[in-house]
Amino acid sequence: MQKDVHSLLESSEFKSLVAKRAKISILLTMLLFVSYYGFVLLIGYNKPFLAQKLDEATATTLGIPMAVGVILASWLLTVIYVIWANAIYDPEVKRLRAKLFGK
Amino acid sequence: MPPVTEQAAGAIQTTLGTPTLPAIVFFLIIVAITLAITYWAAKRTKTTKEFYAAGRSVSAFQNGLALSGDYMSAASFLGIAGMVALKGYDGMIYAVGWLVGWPALMFLIAEPLRNLGKFTFADVVAFRLKQTPVRIASAIGGILTVLFYTIAQMVGSGSLIKLMFGIPYEYAEIMVGCIMLAYVLFGGMLATTWVQIIKAVMLLCGVTVMMFMVLAKFNFNPGDLYAAVSTQYGQAALEPGGLITSPIDAISLGLALMFGLLGLPHILQRFFTVPDAKAARISVLFATGFIGYFYIIIPIVGFGAAALIGREVIINIDKGGNMAAPLLAEFLGGTPFLGFIAAVAFATILAVVAGLTLAAASSFSHDIYVHVIKKGNATEQEEMRASKIATLLFGIVAVGLGILFKGQNVAFMVGLAFAIACSANFPALILSIFWKKFTTAGAVWAILTGAFLAVGLIIISPTVWVDVFKNPKGSELFALKNPAIVSMTASFLVGYIVSLLTKDETAAQKFEDEKLRTYLGVGSE
């Protein structure tokens, strides 16, 4: 078993699974950073941009939909991850486990 | 055209602060239901797996709700609504920060955590490291986090209950302590989970109803609501104000909020209650959805309170603005709706404190008693007894500290808890999961560096040095309000350097097993 474990961990299939997961985790975390810290830095460096009104007839500022947008974007990122994990990661895990246990 | 608001400062009558019949009825209903659930859960809480982890029987949807219930505190419900009411758009910026940790939790650690852990996050940190030193260090980081979080919750709850029900502060503390102890002592994680689920559902329903009632006054057009706010308080209420002045300060606080979540013991413990990694992942999807929805709705409640009640009236009742939401509830739905919202706020407090107590008790009994004192050789019975004693003791300590810190400025303690969580617990956790060369010494030094830097730097920062100790402005020795950017980086660096300088052969050998478990769930409990 231990020998099988070692060869499985060294197999290109397992390594590519680990690499794929790392890639998507880091990519999505980066997108989260861009959306949230982008918003924070925008507030820090360019308040007038967020303070501009959506149009002449309204009091609503651009900042309001942007704050809601950051929350929605964060949630959408989790949706993307779950879709990826359900469609690609889980079947691959199932396959590798079956291989290890010889089923 | 925005409708004419019925705002008349000073003229608004409120029953806030007196125990009205509807408030008492709702309160008793909640207590009766949750205690009945505790009775039911007690019969299913005989083993440690049931006590700490609800027998891993919680579904992804239930855990998503319970996570929301564990996280959405009275401070975020009443506090953020009040902040939006008084400070406008700044409150909205603040609300966004509380959500963004959740996706990071999913992408980085939710699944490995579920696959590697048993009952506490220290199980994961210590997976392949030497048990005694790593368990002690993790328990220090974990318990410090929970302790500061609990003090902030208890002090806040005492004042809130006093404001809403008129019950003296000390009685409020003891009441919260006793009810919460009943849940945790007898019903363990199963009862705590259901209390959190009920609270989350009530809170989400409560704010949804409030949002609709507010929007109904403004032709169901948020634009009309904003116009009314702008007319009364000027356009500045809808623009970023003084919350973010220094971008580096904002980023440091953002890091604490984002990665602190990944180091909160009571949140992490919830991932051991679901059957597998897939359920862990999906529970974060639900939690992010519920919590995100909540933070989108809350500003509408806050702006509604500003437009319909008026800032002056809100400040008259409570300077911090905490009563904005309850006052609005009374204005919109009379005494019965106020009673409902007050009871929801009370349930919110109970659910959060119960989760914190369970996490602290687990750390004492599972990490310290079983793995350090008993060297991993405790019987099931001994561990159960230890966990109950630890629960009781922590409950008493929580009430005691709540009373001790009465009237003190403890707002900084939530920021401190997040700073310790992201600087002590999170780096050790993620390095232990993903980095082969991480050693026992590296883990211990990373945790201690993060914990002590976070505490030390916040003391000499404006947050405590100026705001709490009342030293003159500008005399602080450390400029950032939240130290996360320094203390978290230092923890990672120290963990990295010490690991390179020390050898831990067992840890490196066990990394294969850990990897198999992290990615494929082989051998997971």
Region B406-424 average pLDDT? 91
- Does residue B2 register a pLDDT over 50? no
Banded model confidence at residue B177, pLDDT cuts 50, 70, 90: very high
Q: Chain A: nearest CA to B503, how far in angstroms?
A: 22
| CA B124 from centroid of its chain's CA atoms | 21
> What pLDDT does residue B330 have?
94
Q: Chain B: nearest CA to A42, how far in angstroms?
A: 9
> What pLDDT does residue B10 have?
46
- Spell out the residues 6+ positions from residue B72 whose beta carbon is closer than 8 angstroms to its own: B200, B203, B291, B294, B348
> What pLDDT does residue A103 have?
54
Banded model confidence at residue B23, pLDDT cuts 50, 70, 90: confident
Q: How far apart are CA B423 and CA B433, in angstroms?
A: 16
The complex scores an ipTM of 0.95
Q: How far apart are CA B295 and CA B455, in angstroms?
A: 29
- pLDDT digit string (tens) for B306-360? 999 999 999 998 888 999 999 999 999 999 999 999 899 989 999 999 999 999 9
> What pLDDT does residue B211 have?
97
Q: Helix or strand or coil: residue B356? A: helix
- Does residue B181 register a pLDDT over 50? yes
> What pLDDT does residue B5 have?
43
> What pLDDT does residue B45 have?
94
Q: A97 and B522 in contact by Cβ < 8 A?
A: yes
Q: Chain B: nearest CA to A38, how far in angstroms?
A: 10
| pTM as predicted | 0.94
Banded model confidence at residue B7, pLDDT cuts 50, 70, 90: very low
Residue B500 burial (10 A CB sphere; 0-12, 13-18, 19+): exposed
- Does residue B31 register a pLDDT over 90? yes
- pLDDT digit string (tens) for B462-483? 989 998 899 999 899 999 989 9
Residue B228 in contact with residue B5, Cβ under 8 Å? yes
- pLDDT digit string (tens) for B256-312? 999 999 999 999 999 999 999 999 999 999 999 999 999 999 999 999 999 999 999
> What pLDDT does residue B166 have?
87
Banded model confidence at residue A1, pLDDT cuts 50, 70, 90: low
Residue B114 in contact with residue B357, Cβ under 8 Å? no
Q: What angle is formed at CA B119 by the lines to CA B117 and CA B121, rounded to 5 degrees?
A: 60
Q: Chain A: nearest CA to B382, how far in angstroms?
A: 34
- Does residue B3 register a pLDDT over 80? no
Query: Which residues of A are less than 8 Å from B97 in CB distance?
Result: 36
> What pLDDT does residue B12 have?
63
For B158, half-sphere exposure in the C-beta direction (CA atoms, 13 angstrom radius) is 24
Q: How far apart are CA B525 and CA B511, in angstroms?
A: 18
Best A6, A43, A55 member to test B by mutation, with max B CBs in 10 Å, is A43
Region B374-393 average pLDDT? 96
> What pLDDT does residue A80 have?
98
Instruction: Please report the residues numbered 336 through 365 in chain B whose beta carbons come closer than 8 angstroms to any beta carbon of chain A.
Output: none
> What pLDDT does residue A70 have?
98
**Start-to-end CA span in chain B (Å):** 61
Q: Helix or strand or coil: residue A25? A: helix
- pLDDT digit string (tens) for B138-159? 999 999 999 999 999 999 888 8
Neighbouring C-beta atoms of residue B512, cutoff 10 Å: 17
Q: B281 and A5 in contact by Cβ < 8 A?
A: no
CB-nearest partner of B284 from A18, A58, A78: A78
Dihedral pair phi/psi, residue A53, rounded to 5°: -80, 150
Q: Which of B457, B454, B434 is nearest to B446 (CA)?
A: B454
Query: Which residues of A are less than 8 Å from B224 in CB distance?
Result: none
> What is the pLDDT of chain B when averaged over all its residues?
93
Q: What angle is formed at CA B69 by the lines to CA B66 and CA B72, rounded to 5 degrees?
A: 145
Q: How far apart are CA A13 and CA A27, in angstroms?
A: 21
- pLDDT digit string (tens) for A48-68? 999 999 998 899 999 999 999
Q: Helix or strand or coil: residue B221? A: coil
Query: Which residues of B are less than 8 Å from A96 in CB distance?
Result: 520
CB contact A1 to B (< 8 Å): no
Residue B199: both structure tokens together: 């609270």
Q: B95 and A68 in contact by Cβ < 8 A?
A: no
Query: Which residues of B are less than 8 Å from A69 in CB distance?
Result: none
CATH code of the region B42-520: 1.20.1730.10
Banded model confidence at residue B1, pLDDT cuts 50, 70, 90: very low
| Domain assignments of chain B as residue spans, ordered by start | 42-520
Instruction: Please report the residues numbered 273 through 332 in chain B whose beta carbons come closer than 8 angstroms to any beta carbon of chain A.
Output: 278, 281-282, 284-285, 288-289, 292, 295-296, 299
Q: How far apart are CA A19 and CA B475, in angstroms?
A: 49
